[in-house]
Chains A and B, each alone.
Chain A
Amino acid sequence: MIVIIDYQAGNLTSVVRSLKALGVEATVTQDPAVVAEASRVIFPGVGAAGKAMATLQELGLDQALRQSFRRGVPILGICLGAQIILEHSEENQATCLGLLPGRTRALSPAEGLKIPHMGWNQVRFLRNHQVFKDLSEGAEYYFVHSYYPAPAQTAMVLGVTHHGREFPSAIGWRNLVATQFHPEKSGRFGLQILENFLAWDGSDAE
């Protein structure tokens, strides 16, 4: 069972529809017991880190996610879901899930650059990963965010994007991968990433 975690952080419709286009029916749930039985977990989300963490704790989904990570279930974090898997977020100074070591930081405004970083941008992948295979050179992905994930270990940075400066836009470790961009809104290559994730066994091997 493929589970999409609903913690009232934004609209999950487009994630559900993208999977449907790939021929996959996912279960959208707020129930930790359902997450516990998932064979694959998608953790999307937009909005503020502080409120998201409070809701996750209230619903008991924080523990469910930690258990899924420990069980080795393939997990895909998207946008806010790529941020609150770290230990801490500068947004609301929130204590986060701590699945990976590191912090979520604010994008700093630079001359002529707008925040949020909204629109299409490239990702320079730094290492081979099953989830990011078969993507074309020069492909772009849809972003909308003001914060970015900064894992403590450079080995956990799978891809970087440039907006004023380079920031990690794809991260991962063991059975967890996460993208700051939205694969569900990134056209053909975004769908490819989702399809790769659905086929991934959760191993870190290239």
Chain B
Amino acid sequence: MLSKRIIPCLDVRDGRTTKGIKFKNNVDIGDPVAMARHYYEAGADELVFYDITASSDRRNILIDVVRRVAAEIFIPFSVGGGIRNLNDMREVLLAGAEKVSVNTAAILEPALITAGAQAFGSQCVVLGMDVKRVTPSPTIPSGYEMVIHGGRTPMGIDALWWAQEAVRLGAGEVCLNSIDADGTQAGYELTLTRMISEAVSIPVIASGGAGTPEHLHQVLTQGRADAALIASMVHYDTYTIADIKDYLAQRHIPVRLVW
């Protein structure tokens, strides 16, 4: 039986790992390569790196991190943040990432999803979605709107429609982040996650709001997610991945227990 995946997310800025609350006030919490190695050994099923480097040399810094991580861990990992074109995707994949996540660029230029899927295969192309709750309207009937630029720019695009459109264009997986829940540690956005997961045929990774193992249980059952992204709850040693998996296994959620 396919296991539900538990995926630590590392926000990387200038080659270091940070964690922000609602995308602000990032604080340095460590070396991404050492953290990747730690989570690999601690039972992570996959890792996500999200690059928020602003400097002009960001590409080289990021590729160096990806290359060093790939030499240390032998589970899949994806890289996102600032991926603008096919060449950015190629560099990250050749440096050793299994998947590349496109977010802002995919909305601004949807053909990038198709081009990436054709060049590298759908399984490499993760659609990153940053979503904000709004009052339902004729343009946003689901009540969930796509936002870009790290949550600052609302796009006037319905999240449900966009997820389905991205699947049609060739995305292989969705990483669904709720801006409202992000960094709160108050639980995932269950309504949003369930709505998207039931609407698409590809796997959905829920992101934003994890604070306790119960939150993961909720999103993997009520939210129908295939995988759950975690950050603060493991970065600050509040829980180990083994703690979370034991909790889920006791409640009959299939998880990978031997590693």
Contacts and interface: CB of A to CB of B under 8 A. Distances in A.
Interface of A: 10-11, 13-14, 17-18, 20-21, 46-47, 109, 113-122, 136-140, 142-144, 162-163, 184-191
Contacts of B54: none
Nearest to A113: B2
A185 B75 contact: yes
Interface string B60-93: 0000000000110011100000000000000001
A20 to B, nearest CB: 8
Question: Among A10, A120, A122, which residue has the most Cβ atoms of chain B within 10 A?
Answer: A120
A119 B76 CA distance: 9
A138 B75 contact: no
Contacts of B76: 142, 185
A13 to B, nearest CB: 5
Question: Among B120, B121, B124, B201, which residue has the most Cβ atoms of chain A within 10 A?
Answer: B121
A188 B259 contact: yes
B258 to A, nearest CB: 4
A53 B95 CA distance: 26
Given A119-B4, A187-B40, 4 more contacts: A17-B71, A109-B201, A116-B202, A138-B258
A117 B258 contact: no
B256 A17 contact: no
Given A18-B74, A114-B203, A119 B257 contact: no
A191 to B, nearest CB: 6
Interface size class of B (residues with CB under 8 A): 20 to 34
B38 to A, nearest CB: 14
B123 A118 contact: yes
B112 to A, nearest CB: 18
Contact of A17 (B4, B96, B122, B201): B96
Contacts of A121: 1-3
Contacts of B96: 13-14, 17
7 contacts: A20-B71, A115-B201, A116-B203, A119-B203, A120-B3, A120-B5, A185-B75
A195 to B, nearest CB: 12
Interface string B103-128: 00000000000000000111110000
A119 B74 contact: no
A109 to B, nearest CB: 8
B94 interface: yes
B199 to A, nearest CB: 12
B79 to A, nearest CB: 13
A32 to B, nearest CB: 24
Given A118-B173, A119-B45, A13 B70 contact: yes
Contacts of B226: 114, 118-119
Contact of B5 (A20, A116, A119, A162): A119
